[in-house]
Amino acid sequence: MTYRQLGSLVPHRSSRLFSKGRLIGSLVLLALVGITVWRIRAEEHSGKPKTDAPLVVATAAVRQATVPIELRATGEVVSRHSVSVMPQVSGLLQSVGFHEGQMVARGQLLFRIDPAPFQAALASARSAWNLDESIVRRDSALLPHGYIAPEAYETAVATAQQAKAALRQARINLSYTVIRAPIAGLTGAISVRSGNLVSSSMTTPLVTINQMAPILVEFNLPQSDLETVLHYRDQGPVGIEVSREGGGQVLGSGPLVFIDNTVNSQTGTVLYRARLPNHPLRLWPGQYVGVRVVLSVQKNALVVPQTAVQDGQKGYFVYEVVNGRAVIVPVTVAHEAGGLAVIRTGLPLGATVVTEVPETLRNNMRVMPRNRLPVVPKRRLT
């Protein structure tokens, strides 16, 4: 067999390589197609939105409302008048005329100290004064006749005056054995019970009485708010509303009655006080409360939910929905009140803004308001 005949029976090497390459390329293509189909089906089953699907967001329209111009702070309730009852004389505490925690009236009997030693001291002082007075009367009759020296008469008069002062002091000490309430208010804990000795040198009060009605609320505001408060105070009374700390139930309201004349250099704040009637008794001295300072009321203000306003590097902004897209719009916020932000500039009346901003929301992204989602008809049961 010739060489040419042999070559016709054996395939050429290059043709074999070409056929093998086509086979490999087909396998790779099939693999890529399979991976693509798998990814598409995985996304469909995972429920993830397609990249070109709009983001569902909550929205609200810019509207007009009447909102208060207010400031908020945390305050502390303090008694308008507080008295620590201390014994003025030493002796045996004979009786207690009230129950601790009781509301007492002014002049009501609180404590009684054993008066016997002071009654005896008063009787002795009265006798001494009577004796010295009789000596003065006798010497005054003898002095004109020269029976006594003028110096002796002057000494008798001075002794009588000292006896009179001692008598007065004895009467005062006896009156101190009866301790009455100097003010009307609520009593605290009793530190000494009857049967114990009390002393005028005690440092712990027998009881403390706090005036409860009216009552004061103290709070601090930044010094930057001082000018605003003074401006509105000059126009009329500034009202204060007090609620439980952290918000919730309103416990009372009253006027602003005091502004401190000094700015605290350590905190940069100014002390304020409000007076509340406290009827019924809901505010307690030492209690922390939320304070709402109502300066004025603004009518027809443009407002949006406070959650719609975002704080950026260049100031406040909102996402306005324009032609189905969320667009960043810079705004100027006048103040906030009751969960609403009062917009001074940046938004017109009726504009739609995103109220709950998702983390994935970006400028010019397609969005769909939550209240405009298509309604899927319910399938009838057959």
Residues 75 and 220 in one domain: yes
Q: Please state the domain count of the chain.
A: 4
- Three-state secondary-structure class, residue 206: coil
pLDDT interval class at 32 (50, 70, 90): low
- Note whether 366 and 323 are within 8 A (CB): no
Instruction: Return the pLDDT at 7.
Output: 46
Residue 382 lies in a domain: no
Residues 187 and 220 in one domain: no
pTM of structure: 0.69
Residue 380 lies in a domain: no
Backbone phi and psi for residue 280, each to the nearest 5 degrees, phi listed first: -75, 175
Domain extent, residue 248, equals 70-80+211-299
Instruction: Return the pLDDT at 41.
Output: 63
59: domain CATH number? Answer: 2.40.420.20
111 pLDDT higher than 90: yes
Residues 75 and 218 in one domain: yes
Residue with the bigger pLDDT between 226 and 374: it is 226
Residues 229 and 341 in one domain: no
Q: How far apart are CA 308 and CA 365, in angstroms?
A: 16
Domain end, chosen from 272, 299, 326, is at 299
Q: For residue range 244-272, list pLDDT tens digits in order.
A: 987 778 999 999 999 999 999 999 999 99
Q: For residue range 175-216, list pLDDT tens digits in order.
A: 999 999 999 999 999 999 999 999 999 999 999 999 999 999
Domain end, chosen from 268, 299, 330, is at 299
Residues 184 and 238 in one domain: no
98 pLDDT higher than 90: yes
Residues 178 and 116 in one domain: yes
Q: For residue range 319-344, list pLDDT tens digits in order.
A: 999 999 999 999 999 888 888 999 99
106 pLDDT higher than 90: yes
Residue 99 lies in a domain: yes
Residue 378 lies in a domain: no
Domain end, chosen from 187, 210, 233, is at 210
Instruction: Return the pLDDT at 49.
Output: 47
